[in-house]
Amino acid sequence: MRRFWDPRQLDHAPVQELHNGGFIAYNENPGRARTIAAAIGATEPSADHGEGPLLCVHSPDYVAFLKSAYADWRAAGRPGDAAGYTWPVVGRRPLDLDRIDARLGQYSYDASTPIAEGTWNAAYWSAQTALSATAAVIADGGAAFALCRPPGHHCGADYLGGYCYLNNAAIAAEAAIAGGKSRVAILDIDYHHGNGTQDIFYGRGDVLFVSIHADPRTDYPFYWGHADETGEGEGQGANLNLPLPRGTTRSDYDGALGKALDRLAAFAPELLILSFGADTFSGDPISFFKLETEDYAPIARRIADLGVPTAILMEGGYAVDALGRNVAAFLEGFSPRS
């Protein structure tokens, strides 16, 4: 299996985040990517596909904001990393806002996703890594892995959140469609629901989104990911959420995975984008499923048995000491079928 990574993704290094009422060290830190890279072996450099594919998903205003937010924050005399603190709950609408504080609220939905000096560069190369793996799969078939960092599945077309700035899965899927694929599926198996990915494709029928995740009644992102969210308009029926309770073990997880795979098989995609989060691990510090390292390979084999060319994109996973082993186990399980 080809594996893609760009070290410029380490440039994103916020110091802290707001979590449960207090500031803590930033969980989505560069050490995550380092431990994965060390565990999976040789990787290929990511090609630069330019900003065009990003702008097919994200609004130009939002991309411009990401590029300038840190510099604007510091120019306003603010210390540390840029982070929002005021959000429009009702009547969110496009506005030409000058003050950086207002724009941070306009283009985000939480306080746990600060913008640091190297955030744009890292997010840009994370997206390029996803595009490189997707291009490899389209060209050669089989499967490829993109070590994406920062992750992407929580951010929408014009907002960031959940440690995510550019939606790598959506960018990859849109690029595949632009390249001639007519049916693309996204399977999200991160602990947290991929609300941004759902939002981007919710009214589309050419991209199927299936997500297995923690029940949003108890877990982030709370406001998205419920089972009754099935799509709208042309996308009605093209969105399947499979929320599971805290404490879910492999035996219970397998049932949800079976439902997800049945829906994917019925859709008959030409390409699968797999948003893989290893925060389903029992030792993850911010998540509450009970999967173990030995569970990842058989889960991967079941997905690989679909026989669909697959780009695997890294999302979450915060038990840094075990993260490399868990990702390597998943890729090992996928490799024989790719």
| Residue positions annotated with a catalytic role | 154
Closest CA to 310 of 260, 262, 276: 276
| C-alpha to C-alpha distance for 325 and 329, rounded to whole angstroms | 6
C-alpha distances out from residue 288 to 10, 18, 93, 148, 213, Å: 27, 20, 35, 23, 10
Residues 6+ away with beta carbon under 8 Å from 99: 76
Report the length, in residues, of the chain: 338
Angle at 60 between CA 193 and CA 113, to 5 degrees: 40
CB 273 within 8 A of CB 194: no
- For 231: left if phi > 0, alpha if psi spans -120 to 50, otherwise beta; the answer is left
C-alpha distances out from residue 279 to 37, 81, 106, 137, 269, Å: 17, 25, 28, 25, 26
